[in-house]
Amino acid sequence: MIEPVEVQRFALAALSAGAVVLFGACYAVFLALSRLNGFTLLRHLSNLSYAALAASVVSLAWFLRLDGAWLVLVALLLGGYFVAPRFIWRLSVATHDAVEEEAARRV
C-alpha cells in the first residue's frame, strides 16, 4: 500500500511542475513585452516571475527528492532558462534588422 505522505508529496510535485510551466511562460512573455514596449514594470514582473520559477524548481526538486547530479542538472537548466529568452531576443532583433536592411537596399 502507498503511504499517504508519498501521495501528498507526489501531488505537490505535480503542482510544482505546473507552477514551473506557468512561471516560465510568464517570465518569457513579460521579458519580451518589456523589450518591445520599454516598460520598467514589465521588466520587474519578468524578474518576479523568474524568482517564482526558481522557487518552483527548488520545491519540485525537494518534493522529488533529487540529489547529486540531478541537482546540478536542475541548476544548469535554471541558469539556461534565465539566459535563453535574452539570446532569443537578440537573435530575433539581429534577424529582423538584416531583413529590413536587405529590403531597404532593394528599393
Q: Is 96 strand, coil or helix?
A: helix
For the stretch 20-76, pLDDT in tens is 999 999 999 999 999 999 899 999 999 999 999 999 999 999 999 999 999 999 999
Is the Cα torsion angle 21, 50, 9, 65 positive or negative in sign?
Answer: positive
Task: Tell the residue number behind the cell numbers 531583413, with chain if given.
Answer: 99
Query: Smallest Cα–Cα separation from 19: which of 64, 62, 49, 44?
Result: 49
**Using 50, 70 and 90 to split pLDDT, how confident is the model at 1?**
low
